[in-house]
């Protein structure tokens, strides 16, 4: 029988969750949803030296903002496998049992080496031109551990409470194979794998042991994580094997990296061209906060849509997806092996598409306080109409003001390029006529303005619309001009035209 789909997102609270982490959470979420399974949030906080205050709360808040809520786990309600924080699970002795089992079966051992001794070994190996010095089947023979020391000495050390770690005993020359859903079969020789520490001297398990124990106990069916964990996977296979749990092991999927726009290297949190974090993140160790997608004006739906297409290929040309739509077709078979280049311009485009889908009233409600702050008040119908027109020209809500401020403030200058190119000796007369005709209008509607403009053209010949735009708004482009003039109002439009004609 196929296992029930149970996936987990297992971040360490070592900092703010960046977009790569959110994508991992999203792919887990989509997969669980597709299969009617469970999605769990587990906090992997066994490395106390890297613990960062506020990181866990940030992770929970970020997932909530993105709308990819786990149905079990820290911050989202307890499930049958509580607690979901590894530090709390350690207190229950959950990991120790498994470490003891490995020691008993001869697949793990105690190592008593001090930091200095380890350093000396590293230096020696480096001097001997060993490329990646590691504690392994060869080097362990010259170190102080329960495999090299006499039995009674080991016993004495253990009884005296000497500092020790538990290490995995990786065989010397063995082929380790495993199948990754995204990468296919991976084959690694065990000589490439070091004797990983499983339990640290403070009694805490390392990630390697803890995640395996938890994945087994939490009945995880698929372990989906970033590519950076691929090199550790062979050691994990051995741990499962030595625990006799290979048949219960979750299927593995290692997601590709998210790369910089130039395709070189993975995105760094110090990136200045675009946000890297979903929400603004203030790291207590850093002076400056990092701006988030939310604060930069992105909609969560857009952000999630952008992330989904970083590495996942839906198999057709569709680009805009709701989470539900994605969840209907999401599959790891369609996730690429190679890194996914992030395109910040395309990200803005996505936001624009979602902005256009918003109800005008929703945009008006957001714009109203902005307008007030700028010192202007208008009734709802006016703001609604303004937003309806300007929304076609912006990618973010915060651009509404800049794109359409001339509706509220008369221009002080006129787009120079347009004036230099198009303003000629005939223009004054032409626009004088347009102004006169506008003055005689009783009814200042879009239709009336349009008709009047064409009436003027019937008399003067073709009139350059862009010039009319520059005279009345100061700028060379924008939403439908007559619609904007209707909003600006008759008296104000005429005042602006008279002023421009006086100046030019
Ligand atoms: N704690 C690991 C991390 O933060 C989790 C990796 C995994 O999902 O197994 O990357």
Q: Enumerate domains of the chain plus CATH numbers.
A: 6-76+212-258 (3.40.50.620), 94-209 (3.90.800.10), 359-402 (1.10.8), 416-503 (1.10.10.350)
pLDDT digits (tens, 9 = 90+) for 422-439: 999 999 999 999 999 999
Mean pLDDT of 390-403: 96
pLDDT digits (tens, 9 = 90+) for 324-374: 999 999 999 999 999 999 999 999 999 999 999 999 999 999 999 999 999
Q: Residue 408: enclosing H or E segment and its boundaries?
A: none
- Report the phi/psi class of residue 161: left, alpha or beta, with left for phi > 0 and alpha for psi in -120 to 50: left
Ligand 1 lined by 211 (C-beta under 6 Å): yes
Across all residues in the chain, what is the average pLDDT? 97
Q: Where are the alpha helices (DSSP H) in 263-316?
A: 300-308
pLDDT at 24: 98
pLDDT at 131: 86
Mean pLDDT of 81-88: 96
pLDDT digits (tens, 9 = 90+) for 199-214: 999 999 999 999 999 9
- 489 alpha-carbon distance from chain centroid: 44
Ligand 1 lined by 220 (C-beta under 6 Å): no
Atom of ligand 1 nearest to the CA of 44: 1
Residue 1 has pLDDT above 70, yes or no: no
- Known catalytic residues are 269
Largest CA-CA distance found in the chain, in angstroms, rounded: 112
Helix then strand then coil, in percent of the chain rounded to 5, is 50, 10, 40
Ligand 1 lined by 223 (C-beta under 6 Å): yes
- Report the phi/psi class of residue 478: left, alpha or beta, with left for phi > 0 and alpha for psi in -120 to 50: left
Instruction: Classify 30 as helix, strand or coil.
Output: helix
Cα separation of the two ends of the chain: 82
Ligand 1 lined by 17 (C-beta under 6 Å): no
Q: Among 47, 226, 257, which residue has the most ligand 1 atoms within 8 Å of its CB, making it the best to mutate? A: 226
Rounded to 10 deg, the angle between the 233-242 and 207-217 helix axes is 60
Ligand 1 lined by 42 (C-beta under 6 Å): no
**Residue 222 CB: number of other CB atoms within 10 A?**
21
Report percent pLDDT > 90 for the chain: 98
Copy the structure tokens of residue 8. 């987990």
Evaluate whether 46 touches 52 at the Cβ level (below 8 Å). Answer: no
In order of 61, 108, 124, 231, 502, the CA distances from 115 in angstroms are: 38, 20, 14, 24, 83
Mean pLDDT of 306-313: 98
Atom of ligand 1 nearest to the CA of 8: 8
Rounded to 10 deg, the angle between the 300-308 and 55-66 helix axes is 90
**Residue 247 CB: number of other CB atoms within 10 A?**
6
Question: Kindly report the CA angle at 309 between 308 and 310, in degrees rounded to 5?
Answer: 95
- 105 alpha-carbon distance from chain centroid: 43
> Residue whose CA is closest, atom 10 of ligand 1?
11
Mean pLDDT of 94-111: 98
pLDDT digits (tens, 9 = 90+) for 222-234: 999 999 999 999 9
Burial of 450 (0-12, 13-18, 19+ CB in 10 A): middle
Mean pLDDT of 245-270: 96
Burial of 154 (0-12, 13-18, 19+ CB in 10 A): buried
pLDDT digits (tens, 9 = 90+) for 53-62: 999 999 999 9
Evaluate whether 148 touches 113 at the Cβ level (below 8 Å). Answer: no
pLDDT digits (tens, 9 = 90+) for 472-498: 999 999 999 999 999 999 999 999 999
pLDDT digits (tens, 9 = 90+) for 104-149: 999 999 999 999 999 999 999 999 998 889 999 999 999 999 999 9
Burial of 80 (0-12, 13-18, 19+ CB in 10 A): exposed
pLDDT at 3: 87
Q: Measured between alpha carbons, how far is 152 from 247 in angstroms, rounded to an integer?
A: 37
Q: Measured between alpha carbons, how far is 364 from 371 in angstroms, rounded to an integer?
A: 10
pLDDT digits (tens, 9 = 90+) for 443-454: 999 999 999 999
**Residue 280 CB: number of other CB atoms within 10 A?**
16
Residue 2 has pLDDT above 90, yes or no: no
> Residue whose CA is closest, atom 3 of ligand 1?
11
């Amino acid at each position: 029988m196929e296992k029930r789909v149970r996936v987990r997102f297992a971040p360490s609270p070592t900092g703010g969750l960046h977009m790569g982490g959110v994508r991992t959470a999203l792919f887990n979420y989509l997969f669980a949803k597709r299969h009617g399974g469970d999605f769990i949030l587990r906090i992997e906080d066994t490395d106390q030296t890297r613990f960062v205050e506020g990181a866990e709360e940030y992770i929970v808040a970020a997932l909530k903002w993105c709308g990819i809520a786990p149905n079990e786990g820290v911050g989202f309600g307890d499930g049958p496998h509580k607690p979901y924080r590894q530090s709390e699970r350690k207190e229950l002795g959950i990991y120790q049992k498994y470490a003891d089992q490995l020691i008993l079966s001869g697949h793990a051992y105690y190592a008593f080496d001090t930091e200095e001794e380890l350093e000396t070994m590293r230096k020696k190996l480096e001097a001997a031109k060993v490329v990646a010095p590691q504690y392994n089947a060869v080097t362990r023979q010259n170190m102080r551990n329960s495999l090299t020391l006499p039995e009674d000495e080991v016993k004495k050390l253990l009884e005296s409470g000497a500092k020790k770690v538990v290490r995995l005993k990786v065989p010397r020359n063995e082929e380790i194979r495993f199948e990754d859903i995204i990468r296919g079969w991976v084959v690694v020789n065990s000589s490439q794998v070091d004797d990983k520490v499983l339990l640290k001297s403070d009694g805490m398990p390392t990630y390697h042991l803890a995640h395996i124990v938890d994945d087994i106990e939490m009945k995880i069916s698929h372990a989906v994580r970033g590519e950076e964990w691929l090199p550790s996977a062979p050691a994990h296979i051995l741990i499962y094997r030595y625990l006799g749990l290979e048949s219960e092991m979750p299927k593995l999927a290692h997601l590709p990296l998210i790369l910089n726009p130039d395709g070189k290297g993975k995105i760094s949190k110090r990136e200045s061209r675009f946000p890297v974090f979903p929400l603004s993140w203030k790291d207590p160790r850093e002076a400056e906060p990092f701006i988030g997608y939310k604060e930069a004006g992105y909609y969560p739906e857009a952000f999630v849509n952008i992330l989904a297409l970083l590495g996942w290929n839906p198999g057709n040309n569709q680009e805009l997806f709701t989470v539900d739509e994605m969840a209907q077709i999401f599959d790891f078979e369609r996730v690429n092996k190679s890194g996914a280049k992030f395109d910040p311009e395309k990200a803005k485009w996505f936001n624009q598409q979602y902005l256009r889908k918003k109800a005008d009233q929703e945009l008006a409600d957001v714009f109203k306080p902005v307008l007030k702050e700028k010192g202007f008040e208008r009734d709802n119908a006016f703001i609604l109409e303004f937003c309806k027109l300007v929304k076609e020209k912006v990618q973010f809500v915060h651009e509404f003001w800049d794109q359409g401020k001339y509706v509220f403030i008369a221009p002080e200058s006129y787009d120079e390029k347009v004036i230099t190119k198009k303003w000629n000796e005939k223009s004054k007369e032409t626009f004088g006529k347009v102004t006169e005709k506008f003055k005689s209008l009783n009814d200042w509607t879009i239709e009336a303005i349009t008709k009047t403009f064409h009436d003027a053209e019937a008399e003067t010949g073709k009139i350059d619309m862009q010039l009319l735009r520059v005279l009345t708004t100061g700028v060379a482009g924008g939403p439908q001009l007559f619609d904007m003039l209707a909003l600006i109002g008759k008296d104000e439009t005429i005042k602006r035209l008279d002023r421009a004609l006086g100046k030019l």
